[in-house]
Amino acid sequence: MSVDSTLANILGPLELKVMKCLWAFEEATVQKVLDALNKKEDYAYTTIMTVMSRLAQKGILQRVKSGRSYQYKPIYTEEALIRHMSSQAVHQVLDHYGDTAIAQFVDTVGASPEQLKKLKDLIDRLEGEKPDEKD
């Protein structure tokens, strides 16, 4: 699965467009994002302002007052956002379903030899990072 298709599963279509602008700019005002987006489509200032404010409330953007406006800056890179959101989803599933979720995950991964190898490699790496236990 590509980064773009994964991000499309995490963010709404307009949120993704806004984030793409911010990842490109690294930091921007609502007006700067609006100007970039309006080269292809026609958005209202308040629409983009609302999207950016909500992304800040979700903890995806950092918002800092700069004069009479705000500067917005992504908290995560594209890949880091995917890792963060997938981690949150896994924690929610484990909190709700516990060991049943783990068993289901292993059953699902076990159906694909390629995914099973990736899982084994990850487990081996994690076990290699743990200090040896003494009896």
Which residues have CB under 8 Å from 76's CB, separation 6+?
A: 60, 84
> Taking a C-beta distance cutoff of 8 angstroms, is the pair 34, 48 a contact?
yes
Grouping H, G, I as helix, E, B as strand and the rest as coil, residue 63 is: strand
Considering the domain delimited by 3-75, tell me its CATH architecture: Orthogonal Bundle (1.10)
The pTM of this model reads 0.77
Distance CA 84, CA 78 (A): 10
Q: Which residues of the chain have pLDDT under 50?
A: 135
- According to the model, what pLDDT value does residue 131 have? 62
pLDDT of residue 135: 47
How far is it, in rounded angstroms, from Cα 109 to Cα 71? 43
pLDDT score, position 130: 67
Listed by start position, the domains of the chain span: 3-75, 79-129
